Amino acid sequence: MHQEPKAWIYCRIDAPEDVQGMLKVQRKQLMDYAEQMGFQLKGSSTDLAAGNSDVLPGWEYFLKTAPLQQVEVLLVHNLSQIHRDTCQALRILEQLQKMGIAVYSPLEGKLKFGFQRIIGRMEGIQ
């Protein structure tokens, strides 16, 4: 019997509060995407913070809970939900890959990790 991959939804906006309801819109879009892709939702978390903020309780909750829930897929609106800095985002994506978690976006499909090595090498070049 085929089991649906276990997924987690992570939403974030760069604002102190969600006055326009953008988190609700993101969450609905990601829930629809999860259903379309055949993912089994195990949970979700949100943050109201800048994309380069180090204080992300929703993200920390995901990182603590994902292994316990055996999460295999993280759903985000787009790559900048992980981090605004592309190099940082790719490092995080590589860490998630090592944890056995694939990252998907309805806007970008499955996010790839291969560029991280190239960027890492470029950062070392003076």
Contacts of 112 (CB under 8 A, 6+ apart): none
CATH topology of domain 6-123: Rossmann fold (3.40.50)
Contacts of residue 71, defined as CB under 8 A and 6 or more positions apart, other chains included, come to: 6, 7, 8, 42, 43, 62, 65, 101
- pTM attached to this predicted model: 0.84
Dihedral sign of CA atoms 40, 108, 96, 15 in order = negative
**Beta bridge mates, 6:** 40
Per-residue pLDDT of the chain (126 residues; tens, 9 = 90+): 578 999 999 999 887 777 788 999 999 999 999 999 999 999 999 998 765 667 889 999 999 999 999 999 999 999 888 888 888 888 889 999 999 999 999 988 998 766 544 555 455 544
CA distance 107 to 50: 20
Q: Can you say how many angstroms the Cα of residue 104 is from the centroid of all Cα atoms in its chain?
A: 7
